[in-house]
Amino acid sequence: MNLKTEVERQMKILSSGTVEIIPENELREKISHSLLKGEPLRVKVGIDPTSPHVHIGHMVIYGKLRQFQDLGHKAVLVIGDYTARIGDPTGRNRERAPLSEEDVLRNSRTYRDQIFKIVDESKTEVHFQSEGFDSLTLQDILNTASAFSTAHMLTHETFRKRLEKGDRLSLHELFYPVLQAWDSLLIKSDVELGGMDQKFNILCGRDLQKNRGMTPQAALFMPLLEGTDGRKMSKSFGNHIPVDADPQDMFGKVMSIKDDLILPWFSLAAQRSSQELSLLKVRLEKENPRDVKMELASEIVSLYHGTEKAERCRLGFISQFSRRELPEEIPLFFIDPKGMKITGILKESGLLPSISEARRLIIQGGLKIDGDPVRDPDFILRPVIDTFIIIKAGKRKYLKVKGR
């Protein structure tokens, strides 16, 4: 293996989809050094288990972490059981209500279960902040705080904005970035991954490591995955896709994204390389974007639920999609749960004037049941529990059939 080629190969994979790497040359050196020594890089991701709800936007980071693992590096997850009790003030206009220890534990279990759908658990080290933090003394804490200037802390956009607006910013919140930085010191991270909203905190980690004479971690920032409507993905906007959403729901929600999100989602939620993205771009210009989007949806569902379920969703979606082209108001007709002759249904519902006209239409191939042609005039239709069956007679006549 040529060292330089391998370093560049890793850099290419790792930098794809990133917004910023600080500093890129240090990451390159770290990879080179790791290859020479045969020692994997320690790649940190901090988890803020403030909520049991994980959505695929959160997983962008873990997709990148998985790429590091696939290149032979070590994932180090730090579960922020301390910081969760502070609540990340980033992007918050108000102080968060502190979480109980039980909440934090429960959330971090859910979180790990979700993460390990993407991250290789066998190549992962998991730490709780409390492992290192429980034994800290006031003196340790003051010493560490002395490495940071208040002025710098107040450049944190959220802090600055809250102070300017007169919103409460409690003193302990200034410690959020300090504690996150401390993690990097304790676990000796070479790289830390995070969203752009974590830039301030992750760079604090670099500062603290430098301050303590350690080689500072490189920082790798991923963009935010936009929600299905193009705004920031958030549970409160209802534009998110929970990682534990059932396959149909997940598939359907991916299918609801705007066309201009297809490529960013392929990059961030499906970790496609820049080469693959170029090909997809060309296809999007030629094909119906819906078909490309269906590939995206299948791929995302595969990640969390496996390929078999993804394929079932795809077929289900196609059939559901066909239904979507039906007229808005279709008369509803209830039949005996045991079933009813199709000709009887057509006449009784008033869709056709007589049994004989119904028979003629069926024989001529003018009847479709749930999109499939039915040519047997003696066919007995059995209703399906909890849903309805769509009958199409001729070009424009529709009927919904349901069991009584």
Angstrom distance (rounded) from CA 51 to CA 161: 24
> Are the C-beta atoms of 46 and 111 separated by less than 8 Å?
no
- The phi and psi torsions of 66 (rounded to 5 degrees) equal -60, -40
Residue whose CB is less far from a second copy, 201 or 343:
201
Residues 314-373 that bind a second copy (CB under 8 A): none
Among 47, 78, 169, 361, binds a second copy (CB under 8 A): 169
User: Which two structure tokens, joined as six digits, stand for 164?
Assistant: 């300017």
Would you count residue 68 as binding a second copy (CB under 8 A)? no
Instruction: Write the interaction track for a second copy spanning residues 144-163; mark x where CB under 8 A is met and - where it is not.
Output: xxxxxxxx-xx----x---x
The closest of 325, 329, 296 to 313, measured between CA atoms, is 296
Which of the ranges 129-137, 241-249, 269-277, 314-322 carries the binding residues for a second copy, by CB under 8 A?
129-137
The burial of 194, by beta-carbon neighbours within 10 Å (0-12 exposed, 13-18 middle, 19 or more buried), is given as buried
User: Which two structure tokens, joined as six digits, stand for 106?
Assistant: 């429960």
Min. distance of Cβ 147 from a second copy in angstroms?
Answer: 8
Would you count residue 86 as binding a second copy (CB under 8 A)? yes
Residue whose CB is less far from a second copy, 172 or 402:
172
Would you count residue 178 as binding a second copy (CB under 8 A)? yes
For the chain, give the number of residues: 404
Among 106, 172, 314, 347, binds a second copy (CB under 8 A): 172
Q: Applying CB under 8 A, what is the total number of residues that bind a second copy?
A: 36
The CA R_g of the chain, rounded to the nearest whole Å, is 28
Min. distance of Cβ 143 from a second copy in angstroms?
Answer: 7
Angstrom distance (rounded) from CA 84 to CA 129: 10
The residue written with tokens 């790792």 in the block is 14
Residue whose CB is less far from a second copy, 155 or 387:
155
Would you count residue 92 as binding a second copy (CB under 8 A)? no
Min. distance of Cβ 162 from a second copy in angstroms?
Answer: 8
Q: Which residues does 173 contact at the CB level (< 8 Å), separation at least 6?
A: 86, 87, 89, 95, 159
List contacts with a second copy (CB under 8 A): 82, 85-86, 95, 98, 133-134, 136-139, 141-151, 153-154, 159, 163, 166, 168-175, 178
